[in-house]
Chain A
């Protein structure tokens, strides 16, 4: 908590001029339950991340009014949407006001002919798609957190979608949005004039600047999204391999094939399959010679997907892939897609089962560098595990990011025994995150394709990754947020003010 009781009282008093009492939350539970995201953090340090209060705005004007007050009173503002991110964007580092946008979840318009909808950013994609389905449409932004993450968080983190190879990622699917700047001014941003325009050559391309900033440049409040016909058919074949190299080669060929309905491929490495076999109750056991897996998914009309499937099956067969059958393919894709594939336990080095939660570190890596990065990442986690039983290597996935196989979201899953995550173990973990990020940069990859890079550890390497671009970030931050009230403490942006 950064504010004195008297300061909180004066902030609340000012907020009462623009919000109803039921939109201003100051109780302990209101604050404790807006201090966390799913990423592991030592439980004993929970109190370090409490906001002083939270607000539940219902309109863009509400948000703008709150931000203006915060700017005037020099109180930190932390935007919170789903709170499902893994890089602490929604976590207050210096107290202040959490602006929780969940009440801004209205569907303002569904424009069937122009294939767009306009929504409040507090809406969840699954809930939105329940309504769009009535029109035969879909908004295909599909992260692992699909049932719970919100459109605004997807904008603030510039999210990655499992089926992005077919439909694009959040940056492609969000056409424009209303955005409250750190000064409380409201900006409409998109391509050129924004609104329902998908491509403009007019002016700077500002939309990307206001996506993926992890709440440091303001708060998106209302967004216009790009819609597609709801796919008639889904095909998600899984293939088994007796070694990683063949699986890797196959995954690359699948992604490079240029099949129009191809929505993504996933490569499970040998450590992942070993882990699933060891500890995942939902894993359907395969013969011991199955050591790596590949899956692909296609979406479209049935008369597109069937021949596309035959082509991908041919490619997989040529690499020695064994099709696992319809039941496992459909079931396992549903499991990877609709649920988080996370048992609640891992093991100590002695083999003792212990309660662990899942965490993953990700990067964007070119196809040709995947094997080397995988090898070095496993070595880092193995070293971590040698030092502490708090950590367990749960293997790696690689997912296509693009529709042509250029770069892959590379992810190492680490089980963390959070109940035992003391300061020493936490320090080990933070250093391991730095080491993982350093490997990504060594291979000319990006620190994160998906989760963001503003968390303790990897954030230290962001200036190195962006080079002169990081100085531009500092200049922009200082210009747009002159009093450093918007999500302060993130991304080393304090350097803009020193």
Chain B
């Protein structure tokens, strides 16, 4: 690149070598946002919608990096602000920079990655958010996230949800069940497992399943995330697995984005999203939901499916195949500004913001005069259910609903 007659190389004045490395990696991504300054992202951001605080916007998250490059801000100045993000990806979609070049070059503004990188830098620098630190320490001890609070989670109980389902261990296809579903909303994995059984699909469970590591990576505990990933991959390999079935959108992000970064070309495991597989089964006539489910519903597009992965058709295919439902759909683009508030570690550090975001989401459902809000993400279902109780709106997982229409008695717990 040629330089102007008046220009000089940027003066990298960041205070330490690690911060200099960080800004060297992220300065251009952040500068794209900083220099444009459009802020189209602001009103779709779920945190911004409930806080109206410009310090906690995607624009600020990028601008801080530019200020760090100048030596004007340090990671200690900014770390706590980066808690205020669910990593839903709405800002990236609404960014004019994404839209314009995205149409042709698939360029996407990288706000989620910047947030993760700042959180990682903070942890590496010894700056911890108290609840995240405790959460990840306990996850490390227990190999699972402490989703039951005082009730301890452990390896001995990770398959309790499947106690009566006679599921094998190992095999070519492994069903991975995230911590929230395995210990808290056990009705979801029970529904998934029984639907797969009804479809005649062979699958097994892991010999020793650990947390996917994704939440640790989202909160900045990258070494721990990597260790967990290595364990899980080793378990899959030992079982002879060729593919992993995923029922949780957060796991889907972890396995399709984080694991390939960790393992490169060595990561040869096919990752299958269950909701896509089930839509295919219905399309092909392998499954035919036939028992009417008399509910008036709307569908909550999980952020990691709709905004991060562009997956929105298949859940609607499933819902439209279930007889008896009255479905008041809200299009996926409108839902860019919807969120449960359950992602990115927000409910661990700032549960009051998660509750406010969920309340907003449920209020939008209530305006449609539905009795049920259907989601496809176990992590969204707890905060939405808590908010829904106040509005007399039931929150149901799409797999639970499909199982019911297939005549399956699901069992398990929908949380309490």
Contacts and interface: CB of A to CB of B under 8 A. Distances in A.
Contacts of A100: 54
A101 to B, nearest CB: 9
B54 A84 contact: no
B78 A419 contact: no
Interface stretch (B18-26, B39-47, B128-136): B39-47
B70 A43 contact: yes
B52 A147 contact: no
A83 B52 CA distance: 13
B70 A148 contact: no
A420 B10 CA distance: 8
Contacts of B43: 124, 126-127, 147-148
A30 interface: yes
A33 B39 contact: no
A339 B53 CA distance: 24
B263 interface: no
A25 B100 contact: no
A282 B6 contact: no
A350 B2 contact: yes
A32 B4 contact: no
A154 B64 CA distance: 27
A335 to B, nearest CB: 8
B416 interface: no
A420 B8 CA distance: 7
A108 interface: no
A38 B38 contact: yes
B55 interface: yes
B269 interface: no
Given A43-B70, A102-B54, A344-B97, A357 B36 contact: yes
B52 A344 contact: no
A27 interface: yes
A46 B72 contact: yes
A33 B55 contact: yes
Describe A's contact surface by its main secondary structure.
loop
A37 B60 CA distance: 12
A33 B63 contact: yes
Interface residues of A, number: 59
A450 to B, nearest CB: 16
Interface in B156-178: none
Interface in A109-166: 122, 124, 126-127, 145, 147-148
A40 interface: yes
Interface in A320-369: 335, 339-344, 348, 350, 352, 354-358
A87 B257 CA distance: 41
Contacts of B38: 38, 84, 145, 148, 340
A253 interface: no
A2 interface: no
Interface in A26-42: 27-30, 32-34, 36-38, 40
Given A33-B59, A46-B70, A424-B6, A281 B77 contact: no
Contacts of A425: 4, 6-7
B55 A27 contact: yes
A300 interface: no
B55 A25 contact: yes
B150 interface: no
A47 B2 contact: no
B104 A147 contact: no
A422 interface: yes
A38 B37 contact: yes
Interface residues of B, number: 47
A239 interface: no
Among A29, A30, A32, A344, max chain B CB count under 10 A is at: A29
Given A27-B55, A36-B63, A343 B101 contact: yes
Contact of A147 (B40, B54, B105): B40
A460 interface: no
Nearest to A341: B100
Given A33-B55, A38-B37, A355-B28, A148 B7 contact: no
A61 interface: no
Contacts of B6: 388, 390, 420, 422, 424-425
Interface string A408-440: 000000000111101011000000000000000
A339 B81 contact: no
A375 interface: no
B94 interface: yes
Nearest to B101: A281
A252 interface: no
A82 interface: yes
B198 interface: no
A203 B7 CA distance: 56
Given A281-B101, A388-B5, A422-B6, A32 B54 contact: no
B36 A47 contact: no
Among B8, B54, B59, B94, max chain A CB count under 10 A is at: B54
A282 B101 contact: yes
B73 interface: yes
Contacts of B105: 281
B220 to A, nearest CB: 17
A43 B34 CA distance: 10
A29 B4 contact: no
B372 to A, nearest CB: 22
A358 B38 CA distance: 10
Interface in B323-354: none
Interface string A379-410: 00000000011100000000000000000000
A388 B55 CA distance: 35
B72 A342 contact: no
Interface string A268-283: 0000000000001110
A36 B39 contact: no
A44 interface: yes
B63 A32 contact: yes
Contact of A32 (B5, B32, B67): B67
A417 B64 CA distance: 19
B78 A342 contact: no
Given A419-B10, A419-B31, A29 B64 contact: yes
A34 B60 CA distance: 9
Given A82-B39, A147-B94, A281-B105, A44 B4 contact: no
B64 A33 contact: yes
A335 B66 CA distance: 28
6 contacts: A44-B11, A47-B72, A124-B42, A355-B35, A420-B6, A422-B8
Per CB-CB distance, the 6 closest pairs between chain A and chain B, nearest first, are: A38-B37, A357-B35, A420-B7, A102-B52, A33-B60, A389-B4
